[in-house]
Amino acid sequence: MNSYLTSISGYPRIGEKREWKRSIEKYWSGETKQTDFLQEMKELRLGYLRTQKEKGIDMIPVGDFSLYDHILDTAAMFGLVPERFEYDGGSVSLDLYFQMARGSKQAVAMEMTKWFNTNYHYIVPELNKCTPSLVHNRPLDLFLEAKNEAGITGKPVVISPFTFVKLGKGYMPEEFGSTVYALLPHYETVIRELSEAGADWIQIDDPSLQFTLTEEEKEIVTHVYEALSKAKGTSRLLIQTYFDSIDDYTFVTSLPVDGFGLDFVHDRGENASSIEENGFPEEKVLFAGVINGRNIWRADVREKWELLKSMTTYTSEDRLIIQPSCSLLHVPVTTESETKMPEFLKEGLAFANEKLDELQLLQSALREKELLDYVAPVIPGRDRVHVQKEVKQAELDAGDRSRPFAERQVLQREKFQLPLLPTTTIGSFPQTTEVRKKRQQWRKNELSATDYASFIEQETKKWIDIQEKLDLDVLVHGEFERTDMVEFFGEKLKGFYFTQFAWVQSYGSRCVKPPVIYGDVEFIHEMTVKETVYAQSLTSRPVKGMLTGPVTIFNWSFVREDVPKATVMNQIALALRKEVKALEKQGIYMIQVDEPAIREGLPLKKRNEQEYLNYAVKAFKLSVSTVEPDTQIHTHMCYSDFEKIIDSISAMGADVISIETSRSHGELISAFESYHYDKEIGLGVYDIHSPRVPMKEEIIQNIHRALRVLDPKQFWVNPDCGLKTRKEEETVAALQVMVEAAKEVREQIKVTV
């Protein structure tokens, strides 16, 4: 083997200008035939491989590309299709594949949740009542495509059966091992056929190995890799981990494979310490993830060079592979597209392609034993000292709300006079083609600010009227002036920069463009007051003010790595507090401060959780704690694993929380069976990520399921997320069904309350 080869474990799917997204959505809308669509996807896929080859990457992944999600790909590969989709065996068709992800008129979509602690969402495998069978060796097809059409002998990427089942649902805890073992023979076939086709290395992604394993899990993992090792033929197997350190380092590195991929960026130095304390297995290959695959700041190559040189004490140069810490799925494609970005900032950033260049620079430095012509990245200074002084004072003043929740609840019920099971939405309404067109015209100075403001008012009035006609109890203004829930606020605060094309995939074809927080965050002027006050003037029903919370703005931004997380969060929180007070001063007494990303920022290891929760809760409280007790603070959260942080959520000071739960079919409700949650709550009663209109019986069932463990006086009825991505007709139809269901349940239970 040559010395110091380079590798990556995955590359962005969406394309430099979101070509992937547009192609998929055209197929969904019927504008593109299936054959043409598949050809477009193939051209994109091969283009990505050629880019990596041109950048000099030695070990190029194949199989990381997806038409929606790599976990869904794995489920489809083994014929693991939920019963409700009426699958009759054989290869999963393209339309069925998308129905599993998005739902159909007859069947609800599969659950979607966060990929570990990232903003990427995967489709949760449903493993009950499914008998696995290898219906399509997808990695083999992609390996042969790369070999035959691009001249690239790639490194096939397969998610391990252990992690795949860990991420799945539908089996009892005692069935975990048997579920893994049911898949194992089919995995052996995949590996064997890849080996026979000429694969040198096969990458087995197993991020679940970062957790502390039980003895039973260790037995399962050992059995899995013994079986795969026997099936590998002349190929070599790589266990790839990422996002944190390996707790059971000696166990993992004793597994019968040929190489181990370790994250040296997000491991808090623990992986390096494990190697220093225990050594690294002889004849094994270390795939060292030293370039941050989840952030966009240029690496300090000199620091990474020193780290890699230290690893040569434990492994030889022909057994040390240089790579990013994880798949580059989580970063944009290239800074070359950013033609308007200031040079001082652009010089400090590295997107996916620039990270490939950093790998080459490290490879050259290690081979030449010298780092020539390297200039360390210059990060813009942070010189607004008064911001920090103001934040420190606010931190001292910040605490709990002025009265406990029980007293606030009495005041708020008297003030708002809402019915039992009040209905509302999460905040946004459909961003139609016309809305987006008007915004673009305004941004390009093709539409005056006055005319644009008039258009926004027209849309707001239209949807206030629709909400009143639907008989929703608490209304929203619709957020038609906003592109993205983080971008909108970042554009109005100091310290943020917004790119032209720095998109990343969130779920399916949904892409987000995280802002870059490069300086101190500071409030400039009111951001939401005008639109919210206008909406409230149109109705006697309460209209919620809508803000994005400090933790979510932080977690959904590319944040500098040289500043403490709590410092940045609190700067954002202080700016938002000023907006909250401005809303309250103008008579907006329901204010929703959304925190959909608070869960995804939670460290993966339990021992590190509380520190994060402490400063996340503090930041949220800093933004809302100064409001009057009869002002009702709402928040919205997106995840299903609620039990871990329920105490911290309760401590945040919100009066009403809404939580995405519809895709998990009410499983979140089990958290309340053992925990008495004393505040008000809405557990999303239908899934907005699917284009289908729910049936009234489904929503009624979801409401009753929640009321088995929650007091009806606590419960709010709402969709599980914002409605920005939905079409107008389906939005109105779905909300009508939701309101009818709420009224029906209201009548059923009011005699007992």
Interhelix angle 19-29/34-54, rounded to 10 degrees, is: 170
Please choose, from the candidates 178, 82, 188, the residue with its C-alpha nearest in 3D space to the C-alpha of residue 137: 188
Q: Is 522 annotated as a binding residue?
A: no
Q: Is 721 annotated as a binding residue?
A: yes
Q: By the 8 A CB rule, do 622 and 573 touch? A: yes
Q: Is 479 annotated as a binding residue?
A: yes
H-assigned helices in 103-175: 138-150, 161-166
User: Residue 113: what residue type?
Assistant: T
Element (DSSP H or E) covering residue 553 = helix 550-555
Q: Is 114 annotated as a binding residue?
A: yes
Q: Which residue has the tokens 């966009």?
A: 296
Q: Is 689 a catalytic residue?
A: yes
Q: Is 660 annotated as a binding residue?
A: yes
Round to whole Å and give the CA distance between 108 and 63.
27
In this structure, the number of other CB atoms found within 10 A of the CB of residue 84 comes to 15
Q: By the 8 A CB rule, do 326 and 9 touch? A: yes
Q: Is 638 annotated as a binding residue?
A: yes
Round to whole Å and give the CA distance between 243 and 516.
21
Catalytic residue among 70, 330, 634, 689: 689
Q: By the 8 A CB rule, do 534 and 457 touch? A: yes
Please choose, from the candidates 85, 58, 79, the residue with its C-alpha nearest in 3D space to the C-alpha of residue 154: 58
Q: Is 130 annotated as a binding residue?
A: no
Q: Is 600 annotated as a binding residue?
A: yes
Q: Which residue has the tokens 């010298």?
A: 370
In this structure, the number of other CB atoms found within 10 A of the CB of residue 118 comes to 19
Q: Is 729 annotated as a binding residue?
A: no
β-bridge pairing 510-512 and 504-507: antiparallel
Q: Is 21 annotated as a binding residue?
A: yes
Q: By the 8 A CB rule, do 183 and 132 touch? A: yes
Kindly state the tokens that stand for 115: 């990929």
Q: Is 254 annotated as a binding residue?
A: no
The DSSP line for 538-576 is T-SS-B-EEEE-HHHHHHTSEE-SSS-HHHHHHHHHHHH
Q: Is 636 annotated as a binding residue?
A: yes
Q: Is 663 annotated as a binding residue?
A: no
Residue 85: partners with Cβ closer than 8 Å, 6 or more residues away: 96, 99, 100, 104, 107
Q: Is 297 annotated as a binding residue?
A: no
Round to whole Å and give the CA distance between 591 and 541.
14
Q: What is the C-alpha end-to-end distance of the chain, expressed in Å?
A: 74
Please choose, from the candidates 665, 691, 686, 505, the residue with its C-alpha nearest in 3D space to the C-alpha of residue 102: 691
Kindly state the tokens that stand for 394: 């606010």
Q: Is 20 annotated as a binding residue?
A: yes
Residues at the binding site for L-methionine are: 426-428, 479, 594
Residues at the binding site for 5-methyltetrahydropteroyltri-L-glutamate are: 18-21, 114, 119, 510-511, 556, 600
Residues at the binding site for L-homocysteine are: 426-428, 479, 594
Residues at the binding site for Zn(2+) are: 636, 638, 660, 721
Residues at the binding site are: 18-21, 114, 119, 426-428, 479, 510-511, 556, 594, 600, 636, 638, 660, 721
Annotated active-site positions, please?
Answer: 689
